[in-house]
Structure 1
Amino acid sequence: MPNFSAMRRIACLTLAVPTALLAQTRASAPKAQAPRDSFALTAPLPADPAVKMGTLPNGIAYYIRKNAKPEKRAELRLVVNAGSILEDDDQRGLAHFVEHMAFNGTKSFAKNDIVKYLESIGVRFGADLNAYTSFDETVYILPVPTDSAGILDKSFRFLGDVASGVLFDSTEVVAERGVVLSEWRNGLGAGERLRDKQFPVIFKGSRYAERLPIGKPAILEGANPGPMRRFWRDWYRPDLMAVIAVGDADPAEVERLIRRTFAPIPPRTTKRARTLATVPPHDSTLVSIATDKELTSSSVGVLWKRPGRVARTVGDLRADLLDRLYNTMINQRFSELALKPETPFAGAGAGSGGFVRGSEFNSLDANAKEGKLLESLQALLTEAERVQRHGFLASELDRARTNLLRAYERAYTERDKTPSGAFVSAYIGHFLQGEAMPGIAFEYAAVQKLLPTVTVAEVNALAQARSGAANRVVTVTLPEKEGLRVPTEAEVRAVFGTVLAANIAPYAETVAEGALVASPPSPGRVVNERTIPAHNITEWTLANGVRVLVKPTDFNADQIQMTGWSPGGASMVSDQDVFKTSLTPVVIAQGGVGSFSTIDLRKKLTGKVAQVQPSIADLSEGVSGGASPRDLETLLQLTYLRLTAPRADSTVFKATMQQFETVLKNKDANPAAVFSDTVQVTLAGGHPRVRPLTLDMLQELKLDDMLAIYKERFSDAGDFTFVFVGNIDLAVLKPLAEQWLGSLPSSGRKETPRDVGPKQFTGTIDKQVRKGIAPQSQTALLLAGVGPWSREEAYVLSSLGELLEMRLLDRLRESLGGTYSVNVSTGFSRRPRQEWQVVISYGSAPEKADTMFAAVQQELDSLRRVPPTAAEVERVREQQRRELEVARKQNGYWVGAIRSRAENGDPLDAIGGEEQQFASLTPETLAAAAKRYLHEANRARFVLLPEKP
């Protein structure tokens, strides 16, 4: 089943598709109008006054916005209104290849010079510096610091080169073929094969069916500069480009740099027409039925195509609100159905949006239980038909409207805390399609006026656009396996008639009454209080033993994050029960809390922003969640209920087990799943606590047993610690903590986690896994050992991993062209044993797996023998320093830092000190670390290869 909402995300990276909500023309409401007329349905959506827009004489557009979140950073983009849809027949895949070549040599930067420069100022290649190519556009992404002279100038110079000075050196083109082919290879598998069967149906008669951005391997294998340069010359031209700069920089200086860099680019006197591809309408339903031997589940989708809409007026904004309300309400019904064992699907949903330029969709999708495809299609259509015949209830609309308004309210509250990257997609959409960008202040004011005027009848009327045979496509996918019958097209079509002829009753609901906590407990009290001035942390000890750590921040206006834990976890249960323990939090949380089922709880929390979820890890159990400051008490109440009033729901339990079965029945058809399980079991050496979940193991699960495990782990809060970080008023939180945390039951239990898990592997392991039919390979290489842990040593190991990743990316990708990406991760455990690991993973062509491994070994040997250069070490340090600058202004960083210190018994005033660690990192320290950690005394190599050589 295609993910319709992501069809524009097919090339390199995720494409943030602009929504109609943000669409905008350049026009502003006339100043003479009265304010009330600004929200008339015919009124144009105004331009956000915070954005400076302009067009250079050569046709290049620009967008500039000053925004100080994060500080000392800017998000730069070069947007090219050209993608794979414009390729000639001999250029299939070369629009994307051009994007790669922009990083392989321009008139101002030799191969990879821009990558190395940006890495030297703290920008990671891939994670930060990147680009993507879609059907209709190509976007270059540069997030850069702004606090050093020359960085913006050099960054704009690179983007200017992309627009006017890519070299297309033939040697570099040949070298890059392997990288692009590796990216193509990464996309192979069941999803790719199903897409190739479905797209000709979904895009019937459209050029979109034959212009996937990744292109044709035959063309990529023989790619040469000629056709590539022709694409760049035809489509990388000023009238098709825009520059976007959002961040903590002087707008006047940014505009000066843009003009100086881009204005000299000459306009084109001869231009190929930039035509727009279309998706032709059709009167009847199209059906695609596809199977694949590696598919792990069955799915069915119904798609109604429609012409694309560009919002220009307040009325257009209102129409978008109606769409969102409809989808919210019907999705709520689908989620309720998924909690019933008799429902034929494990999950379902409705959506709307755009998937290619000028074409949008409404959709219904379901993940069917095995053998229940036609029944799932009938259930989807029945619910849609129920809305069409009987409509939604007024109570459903009230809840959806309240939650949508609250979402806008939160966005408005955070308007001065919004990260720069969040603005970029709106400006891209404005340039490419004229999509609105009125800004949150106007949108929130408009929504406050518009939402109360929406009626149930109006939302119900939208059901007409989600019915009928015209422009309808049905997609059916299922595993290719013995005994699983494939439905015929006639059977699929017959379901529509069955639903239309059926007697469908109106939707009915019940809403649970009463307070979230029926009988509030007697509050406890704070018996000890102290502060850690260095980090503005307050510590309370409650009479029941609960410890509370609080750090107020102003990083976000409408956010509080919370985590709570106690030592013990799964280590305290028997070997045979450990897998039950890992599933227990999910199963019990699905039942709701107290007297409220999951469905009732969702309704009860309408308009509130608060959620808490339980978890049981190896060494601890706990809860995590967050809330808006105004819903802080609800956060504490939910925490109290999660610990004291778990709700075991036998009906939901049965439905949840069926959902697990749907996932597990064909899991072993997935090569990645088989590979992962093999790595896990092999490294554990057959330890009984490491068992991949199977259908047979599901039969051992009993709800009463899981509830008993849950209560045993959570019923005694005496050794719990809670951390709260965010926009917190201590005077407000303290009595709430006394009421809801101070009243938690406690017997004074103090647990110490047991060391019961598998030991670190030793020796040499070489294992091949033959699974899958695609010509692709995946390698996981592990180095391991034991040694004394220290925070400094863990930091050095992590830094060594970063250096190694840089080296391997340069060797395996840039020099050998053998892979698209390399990942190196490190870990140094402190509890229950002091052990370390280095994990290296990468993909390649199957026939190159051994060659790539030999290259990795050579790089390991090189780092052991020769110290890294000072420049390499500086690149590592600068990236760490820049990331820390941003992280320290985020609540999540402090939640993690405080928990790490508190959980390990370290002093809280010792948080920080990273700058001293950075300063201590030298070529000599990394060279010594390479000798300690990059040896192969304990080495495991796992290689996933196709079934047939």
Structure 2
Amino acid sequence: MKVALSAQRIAAMLALITAPVALTAQTAKPTAKPAATDSFALTAPLPMDPAVTVGTLPNGIRYYIRQNAKPEKRAELRLVINAGSILEDDDQRGLAHFVEHMAFNGTKSFAKNDIVKYLESIGVRFGADLNAYTSFDETVYILPVPTDSAGILPKSFRFLGDVASGVLFDSAEVVAERGVVLSEWRNGLGAGERLRDKQFPVIFRGSRYAERLPIGKPEILEKANPGPVKRFWRDWYRPDLMAVIAVGDANPAELERLIRSTFSGIPKRTAPRPRTLASVPTHDSTLVTIATDKELTTSSVGVLWKRPGKSTRTVGDMREDLINRLYNGMINQRFQELSLKPETPFTGAGASSGGFVRGSELNALDAGAKEGKIIESLQALLTEAERVQRHGFLASELERARTNTLRSYERSFAERDKTPSGAFVDEYIANYLSGEGAPSIAFEYAAVQKLLPTITLAEVNAVANARGGAANRVVTVTVPEKDGLRVPTESEVRAVFGTVVASNITPWVETVAEGALVPTTPSAGKVVKEARIAAQNITDWTLSNGVRVLIKPTDFNADQILMSSFSPGGASLVADKDAFKTSLAPSIIAAGGVGSFSTIDLRKKLTGKVASATPSISDLSEGMSGAASPKDLETLMQLIYLRFTAPRADSTVFKAQLQQFEQFLKNKDANPMAVFSDTIQQTLAGGHPRARPLSMEMLKELDINELLTIYKDRFSDAGDFTFFFVGNVDLATFKPLVEQWLGALPTAGRKETPRDVGPTQFAGVIDKAVKKGIAPQSQSIVLMAGSAPWNREDSYVLSSLGELLQMRLLDRLRESLGGTYSVSVTSAFSRRLRQEWQVAIQYGSAPDKADTMFAAVRDEMQKLRTTPPTAAELERVKEQQRREFEVSQKQNGYWLNTMRTRVENGDPLDTMGDYLTLINGLTVEKLSAAAQKFLVESNRARFVLLPETSK
């Protein structure tokens, strides 16, 4: 299970740490929506979405029920506990999270791990689907289940009911789970964790939050026993601190019946422990924390202003949120513009605001500083905030921000019947924990339409005044620890505030490029050939210039059209020494803008539009990916046309990009995982020049004009390009756009094929240990590889074997040995240029357990080679595949990727639905034969990352 806390950067905490507030239980369903004339009065409460049923059981358990068919035949179930690590006693540090683990290891209705095996048998994947998280102030159990088979929902609710009132806490299981939880703790070690431990005592000065991280203390975890673990569960898993949420494709009346029958019998607690709230004490002066670490790769500086938390409960609160959103968006646009200038001391910067911990929120400015430029970056951050405070924003900035904000709500409203159940669940969790309003998107969209025009420039400018002052302010500085890099002192950091206040700051000046996106409309082409793949509802057009266009209209999303394209060739057609330049060229050239529009000008030009086209060059092809709203489809087509015909090299932006690359590379080798990854890449490639990791020396070879030449060569001839469009497309209106913009693309008659330029598959047995890093952790990657004739069934069976092996290894390495938190097995069978296969296994462990774990991996592979899997294992694999396919085939991205892969490999499109045939044909015998064929160690590589102090 996962701990909901990450703190390498304070900015990330805004997104990952929730700030709930206890909610007084109410009864039955929400009241009706206020009359239209009163709905948007600023004091009016946000009305609960009438589509959700909200109620409270007699024992105090809150429930939320909503019928929603996205995805079909699925329901999202949650058990929310209004308690987390902040409530742990001193002998329980980390045991709130431990309780969460024990819920999956034996309850009154399910013996050890039985619930996991049952859910896997109905298509629910452990970890990816079935999960839970523990945060400072809440614990949430996550259970997505199918709804089209009798018995699944009752059994699923029974499990959640057991979590609430029937976890066993068997002594042997508690001892066995110590290793799993310690492995999860171990996974979090590293530079980020060490910086957090230095920063949190300052950020949370005087608060219990500084000493109650959900992952806990290893000295307590390694000695955990049922007594204190069960005590936390008994104290805090109780009806007055619980909510049950059920959203999905099921009868609401049946869901309510199941909730009542499952949870009503849980008795109220007599004389329960008070559910206290931890506070974050205020302070009058600025606090500063400066932290260094030898494995940190980049410098950063942030300014945080702590303030009391406030839930969005009224229309007035919503309006205030909009003002803050506008402010953040407008100043962030300025930061983005500054980051494209080489003279700017930071590589990127941003303003944010939001929930921090329960009852507290943050306003933050954050920057990734160029090496040695901490003071300058802090000054640049504060200068922009001060510029707004003195001179305000421009009216044009507000207008663009308003337009983009309204557009985002418009899109949500358009997708109101396509909203996934998980999104509703998140709203109801926030409503229960913090009292956050949960109105319908129809209400929100109507409110935003009414409120946005009333927000004045003066109101947005006033936010800058509210976000300032020394009170409750914390400055965070992080710097790599290395020779020659000076760390600023606290007095130098503090002095920046006075410097900015005393400085002369001029108003912001902006330029806006005028004119049409495409100044001159090109001569259109024509569709000269049309074909239909009726079974898949795909239309296939060939244009007069040779461009091929495949379109699959869908109704999966109302406001989405996805695009992809490719042409054979890619970096394989250039010399080895130029391969890395070819791969970098698209992103560097695209950052310059298109035609007469710089990146900044283009962003302004596209205000209110949803359309993007991004070029790329891989080893074997070049192409573009993109997306658009149906109403902005022509803009997408114009962007594609411009990416082909009017790429724009911007030398100023290029210099800024080079500096960003340099900042990444300067200290990259301080990161143990980066060294590990580079070692694997170079070893497997045998030192092939195309497998070189990017280096400072390679950056010196980059020239903007050469990159533009490379880009133009790859995109100057569209004649062998194939485009794919999937989504809410109307063929009749789309055809003229295709003829106008894709039909006008230049062609020169080139028909290219990629070259086989290596590197080749590794051969023999490789064992390599990399000793890097100071944390007591280890990572292992085991690879098997080989060559074999490709066929579709073998490729599918290999993939299925990987899923089976992952189940086996998770059971052995995690559940039996308690040696790891997670295991990943990926397998692939490729046939472009060479027919090769590979199986990759990855897991973490304690350093002294790496060899034991590897022996267990080999043993499980040997068992699969010699003993066929069970019928139950076979059905678990097949059912998970069926269920995943049910959801995937209602997603535009699945069809886009499948269509492209089929065409790239020369496969027919009319058999795209044959996946179910493959699933139904999978047998124990086929899996056993695949294990004998693929799980062999004649070509096997093992890489182990160990601490640098290892012997």
Question: TM range, normalised to the smaller chain?
Answer: over 0.9
For residues 131-174 of structure 1, give each alpha carbon's deviation from its aligned partner in whole angstroms, at most 9, with x where no partner exists.
00000000000000000000000000000000000000000000
For residues 30-86 of structure 1, give each alpha carbon's deviation from its aligned partner in whole angstroms, at most 9, with x where no partner exists.
869641211011111111100001111111110000000000000000000000000
- Alignment partner, residue 3 of structure 1: 9
Query: 2:775 matched to 1:809?
Result: no
- Alignment partner, residue 791 of structure 2: 790
CA RMSD of aligned residues (A): 1.6
- Alignment partner, residue 355 of structure 1: 356
For residues 190-224 of structure 1, give each alpha carbon's deviation from its aligned partner in whole angstroms, at most 9, with x where no partner exists.
00000000000000010000000000000000000
CA contact (8 A) 1:25 1:430 kept: no
- Alignment partner, residue 4 of structure 2: none
Distance apart, 1:29 and its partner CA: 9.9
CA contact (8 A) 1:346 1:369 kept: yes
- Alignment partner, residue 513 of structure 1: 514
Letter aligned with residue 539 of structure 1: D
- In the alignment, the residues of structure 2 paired with residue 444 and residue 592 of structure 1 have an alpha-carbon distance, to the nearest angstrom, of 32
Query: 2:210 matched to 1:209?
Result: yes
Distance apart, 1:5 and its partner CA: 4.7
Helix, strand or coil: the match of 1:797? helix
- In the alignment, the residues of structure 2 paired with residue 737 and residue 638 of structure 1 have an alpha-carbon distance, to the nearest angstrom, of 13
- In the alignment, the residues of structure 1 paired with residue 249 and residue 287 of structure 2 have an alpha-carbon distance, to the nearest angstrom, of 50
Distance apart, 1:465 and its partner CA: 2.0
Aligned CA distance change for structure 1 residues 147 and 225 (closer, same or farther; 3 Å):
same
- Alignment partner, residue 190 of structure 1: 191
- Alignment partner, residue 65 of structure 1: 66
Helix, strand or coil: the match of 2:948? coil
Alignment of 1:362-511 (within 5 A): 362-511=363-512
- Alignment partner, residue 853 of structure 2: 852
Helix, strand or coil: the match of 1:258? helix
Query: 2:273 matched to 1:272?
Result: yes
Letter aligned with residue 437 of structure 2: A
Helix, strand or coil: the match of 1:909? coil
CA contact (8 A) 1:781 1:942 kept: yes
- Alignment partner, residue 573 of structure 2: 572
Letter aligned with residue 932 of structure 1: K
- In the alignment, the residues of structure 2 paired with residue 250 and residue 32 of structure 1 have an alpha-carbon distance, to the nearest angstrom, of 23
Query: 2:221 matched to 1:220?
Result: yes
- Alignment partner, residue 652 of structure 2: 651
- In the alignment, the residues of structure 2 paired with residue 886 and residue 109 of structure 1 have an alpha-carbon distance, to the nearest angstrom, of 28
Distance apart, 1:559 and its partner CA: 0.3
- In the alignment, the residues of structure 2 paired with residue 321 and residue 28 of structure 1 have an alpha-carbon distance, to the nearest angstrom, of 28
- In the alignment, the residues of structure 2 paired with residue 772 and residue 19 of structure 1 have an alpha-carbon distance, to the nearest angstrom, of 40
For residues 352-382 of structure 1, give each alpha carbon's deviation from its aligned partner in whole angstroms, at most 9, with x where no partner exists.
0011000001000000010111000000000
- Alignment partner, residue 3 of structure 2: none
Helix, strand or coil: the match of 2:910? helix
Distance apart, 1:6 and its partner CA: 3.8
- In the alignment, the residues of structure 1 paired with residue 821 and residue 892 of structure 2 have an alpha-carbon distance, to the nearest angstrom, of 33
- Alignment partner, residue 168 of structure 2: 167
Distance apart, 1:25 and its partner CA: 9.1
- Alignment partner, residue 773 of structure 1: 774
Helix, strand or coil: the match of 2:577? helix
Aligned CA distance change for structure 1 residues 24 and 545 (closer, same or farther; 3 Å):
farther
- In the alignment, the residues of structure 2 paired with residue 829 and residue 312 of structure 1 have an alpha-carbon distance, to the nearest angstrom, of 54
Pairs aligned (count): 944
CA contact (8 A) 1:523 1:743 kept: yes
- In the alignment, the residues of structure 2 paired with residue 42 and residue 25 of structure 1 have an alpha-carbon distance, to the nearest angstrom, of 20
Distance apart, 1:856 and its partner CA: 0.4
Query: 2:626 matched to 1:625?
Result: yes
Letter aligned with residue 569 of structure 2: G
CA contact (8 A) 2:28 2:56 kept: no
Distance apart, 1:7 and its partner CA: 2.8
- Alignment partner, residue 344 of structure 2: 343
Aligned CA distance change for structure 1 residues 594 and 32 (closer, same or farther; 3 Å):
closer
Alignment of 1:276-315 (within 5 A): 276-315=277-316
Alignment of 1:793-872 (within 5 A): 793-872=794-873
Letter aligned with residue 486 of structure 2: R
CA contact (8 A) 2:204 2:210 kept: yes
- In the alignment, the residues of structure 1 paired with residue 110 and residue 737 of structure 2 have an alpha-carbon distance, to the nearest angstrom, of 59
For residues 279-310 of structure 1, give each alpha carbon's deviation from its aligned partner in whole angstroms, at most 9, with x where no partner exists.
01110000000000000000000000000001
CA contact (8 A) 2:20 2:358 kept: no
- Alignment partner, residue 144 of structure 1: 145
- In the alignment, the residues of structure 2 paired with residue 370 and residue 39 of structure 1 have an alpha-carbon distance, to the nearest angstrom, of 50
Query: 2:753 matched to 1:752?
Result: yes
Helix, strand or coil: the match of 2:689? coil
- In the alignment, the residues of structure 2 paired with residue 815 and residue 360 of structure 1 have an alpha-carbon distance, to the nearest angstrom, of 42
- In the alignment, the residues of structure 2 paired with residue 105 and residue 392 of structure 1 have an alpha-carbon distance, to the nearest angstrom, of 59
- Alignment partner, residue 546 of structure 1: 547
Query: 2:687 matched to 1:686?
Result: yes
Aligned CA distance change for structure 1 residues 529 and 446 (closer, same or farther; 3 Å):
same
CA contact (8 A) 2:522 2:744 kept: yes
For residues 906-934 of structure 1, give each alpha carbon's deviation from its aligned partner in whole angstroms, at most 9, with x where no partner exists.
21111111111011111110000000000
- In the alignment, the residues of structure 2 paired with residue 262 and residue 26 of structure 1 have an alpha-carbon distance, to the nearest angstrom, of 16
For residues 318-368 of structure 1, give each alpha carbon's deviation from its aligned partner in whole angstroms, at most 9, with x where no partner exists.
000001000000000000000000000000000000110000010000000
CA contact (8 A) 1:78 1:140 kept: yes
**Moved runs in structure 1, 4+ residues, more than 3 A?**
1-6, 14-20, 22-34
CA contact (8 A) 1:24 1:46 kept: no
With the length of structure 1 as denominator, give the TM-score of the two structures. Answer: 0.98
Letter aligned with residue 68 of structure 1: A
Letter aligned with residue 799 of structure 1: S
CA contact (8 A) 2:29 2:54 kept: no
Distance apart, 1:15 and its partner CA: 6.5
- In the alignment, the residues of structure 1 paired with residue 854 and residue 424 of structure 2 have an alpha-carbon distance, to the nearest angstrom, of 42
- In the alignment, the residues of structure 1 paired with residue 842 and residue 435 of structure 2 have an alpha-carbon distance, to the nearest angstrom, of 42
CA contact (8 A) 2:104 2:115 kept: yes
Letter aligned with residue 96 of structure 1: H
For residues 803-835 of structure 1, give each alpha carbon's deviation from its aligned partner in whole angstroms, at most 9, with x where no partner exists.
000000000000000000000001111111000
Letter aligned with residue 838 of structure 2: Q
- In the alignment, the residues of structure 2 paired with residue 363 and residue 668 of structure 1 have an alpha-carbon distance, to the nearest angstrom, of 30
- In the alignment, the residues of structure 1 paired with residue 42 and residue 271 of structure 2 have an alpha-carbon distance, to the nearest angstrom, of 42
- In the alignment, the residues of structure 2 paired with residue 526 and residue 739 of structure 1 have an alpha-carbon distance, to the nearest angstrom, of 10
Aligned CA distance change for structure 1 residues 71 and 891 (closer, same or farther; 3 Å):
same
Distance apart, 1:900 and its partner CA: 1.2
Distance apart, 1:27 and its partner CA: 11
Aligned CA distance change for structure 1 residues 566 and 236 (closer, same or farther; 3 Å):
same
CA contact (8 A) 1:25 1:436 kept: no
Distance apart, 1:4 and its partner CA: 3.4
Aligned CA distance change for structure 1 residues 31 and 832 (closer, same or farther; 3 Å):
closer
- In the alignment, the residues of structure 1 paired with residue 26 and residue 710 of structure 2 have an alpha-carbon distance, to the nearest angstrom, of 58
For residues 569-605 of structure 1, give each alpha carbon's deviation from its aligned partner in whole angstroms, at most 9, with x where no partner exists.
0101110000111111110010000110000000000
Letter aligned with residue 709 of structure 1: I
CA contact (8 A) 2:19 2:357 kept: no
Letter aligned with residue 540 of structure 2: E
Helix, strand or coil: the match of 1:364? strand
Helix, strand or coil: the match of 1:634? helix
Helix, strand or coil: the match of 2:783? strand
Letter aligned with residue 590 of structure 2: A
For residues 414-462 of structure 1, give each alpha carbon's deviation from its aligned partner in whole angstroms, at most 9, with x where no partner exists.
0000110111111011111111001211100000000000000000001
- Gaps spanning 5+ residues in structure 1: where? none
- Alignment partner, residue 319 of structure 1: 320
For residues 870-911 of structure 1, give each alpha carbon's deviation from its aligned partner in whole angstroms, at most 9, with x where no partner exists.
000100000000000000000001101111111122211111
CA contact (8 A) 1:25 1:47 kept: no
Letter aligned with residue 234 of structure 1: D
Query: 2:891 matched to 1:890?
Result: yes
Helix, strand or coil: the match of 1:223? coil
CA contact (8 A) 1:295 1:669 kept: yes
Letter aligned with residue 575 of structure 2: S
